[in-house]
């Protein structure tokens, strides 16, 4: 058996994108034990994924903070005697494990993250044809999601639309007013149901959007990311900002309408041909950028680049998806 450790990520969206290496690795190595090393946030999402044999947590703000914490992590990983390290985060720690090391080529960042991850494998002769980020749900998780829809009165013959107005960075957020206007217009159309998603710190935003709607959406506010993924998988389309749940939606096969402002969709948009990225086309001279992670950036609150996306732009795409159903 070949023991493989994949160095994944601390942010949920990045961790989801890293799942793209699972299928090629399992196809290439017939007998494999696959472990993912992630941050605390994605742990519960990946821990029960049937494709992954084990999950370890790298907590660089807690147990593994500082030099002492990193040495502790290195020692614990060396004890596992891995045969291969797939280093997707360009981590120095991965080079200290004492196993064969496959890593990223530095530079060339103006490509999609998934493309760069797959090149780590293809350079070693592994076939990556049709590989893509994928979250695998259990039958129990799917049944629980379907039961929730039945209990809340969602009709199977209608169009089910997932809407998530939240996100961690204010400059990535389309306005609550526009989300409400979009949802109102959709609800006026025949047989449309809205699942309104919210993270643990987004309840106020969720209520704000719902209060501006003329008809009531179905609230989804579970903190369990596996339950969120299963409910998104039931949707005919998912609409949201540049967030982790956007990548979850793509990874469970739901068509995504992603609203992008200043961040670079070429590097971090939903991966796959069935998804649509909407932008305003506004050029401030400083975008694309990531001010939340750039100390020299504007430190933006709301951003004119994403504010420029119109409700009609989004409606046009959703109507096309609805016609194709």
Q: What is the CATH number of the domain that holds 96?
A: 3.40.50.2000
Residue 143 belongs to a domain: yes
124: which DSSP letter?
T
Q: Which of 95, 122, 149 is the last residue of a domain?
A: 122
Residue 67 belongs to a domain: yes
Q: Which of 93, 122, 151 is the last residue of a domain?
A: 122
Cβ contact 46:36 at 8 Å: yes
Average pLDDT estimate for 297-301:
55
| pLDDT surpasses 60 at 292 | no
**What pTM value is reported for the model?**
0.93
Task: Order the strands of the 100-103 sheet from edge to edge.
Answer: 54-57, 32-38, 2-7, 84-87, 100-103
Give me the number of domains the chain comprises.
Answer: 2
Q: In terms of domains, do 82 and 31 share one?
A: yes
Q: In terms of domains, do 189 and 314 share one?
A: yes
Q: Which of 65, 95, 122 is the last residue of a domain?
A: 122
Residue 274 belongs to a domain: yes
Task: Give 324's pLDDT tier (boundaries 50, 70, 90).
Answer: low
Span of 67-71, 103-107, 115-119 with lowest mean pLDDT: 103-107
| pLDDT surpasses 90 at 55 | yes
Domain of residue 293, residue span: 139-324
Residue 51 belongs to a domain: yes
Average pLDDT estimate for 69-92:
95
Q: In terms of domains, do 28 and 90 share one?
A: yes
Q: In terms of domains, do 45 and 104 share one?
A: yes
Q: In terms of domains, do 49 and 176 share one?
A: no
pLDDT at 296: 44
Containing 320, the helix (H) or strand (E) segment is helix 311-324
Residue 275 belongs to a domain: yes
């Amino acid at each position: 058996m070949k023991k493989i450790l994949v160095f994944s990520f601390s942010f949920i969206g990045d961790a989801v994108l890293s799942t793209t290496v699972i299928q090629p690795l399992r196809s290439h190595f017939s007998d494999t034990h696959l472990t993912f090393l992630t941050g605390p946030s994605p742990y519960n999402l990946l821990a029960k994924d049937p494709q992954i044999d084990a999950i370890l947590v790298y907590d660089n703000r807690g147990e593994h903070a500082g030099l002492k914490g990193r040495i502790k992590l290195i020692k614990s990983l060396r004890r596992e005697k891995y045969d291969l390290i797939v280093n997707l985060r360009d981590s120095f720690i991965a080079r200290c494990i004492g196993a064969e090391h496959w890593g990223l080529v530095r530079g060339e960042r103006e490509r999609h993250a998934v493309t760069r991850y797959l090149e780590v494998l293809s350079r070693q002769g592994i076939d990556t044809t049709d590989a893509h980020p994928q979250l695998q749900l259990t039958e129990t998780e799917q049944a629980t999601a379907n039961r929730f829809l039945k209990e809340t009165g969602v009709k199977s013959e209608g169009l089910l639309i997932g809407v998530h107005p939240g996100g961690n960075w204010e400059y990535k957020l389309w306005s609550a007013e526009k989300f409400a206007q979009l949802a109102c217009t959709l609800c006026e159309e025949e047989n449309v149901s809205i699942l309104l998603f919210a993270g643990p710190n987004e309840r106020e935003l969720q209520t704000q959007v719902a209060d501006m709607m003329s008809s009531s959406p179905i609230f989804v506010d579970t903190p369990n990311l596996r339950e969120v993924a299963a409910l998104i998988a039931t949707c005919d389309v998912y609409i949201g900002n540049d967030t982790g749940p956007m990548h979850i939606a793509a990874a469970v096969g739901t068509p995504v309408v992603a609203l992008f402002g200043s961040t670079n969709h070429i590097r971090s948009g939903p991966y796959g041909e069935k998804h649509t990225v909407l932008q305003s086309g506004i050029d401030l001279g400083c975008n694309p950028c990531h001010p939340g992670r750039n100390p020299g950036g504007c430190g933006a609150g709301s951003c004119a680049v994403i504010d420029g996306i119109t409700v009609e732009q989004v409606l046009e795409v959703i109507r096309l998806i609805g016609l194709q159903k």
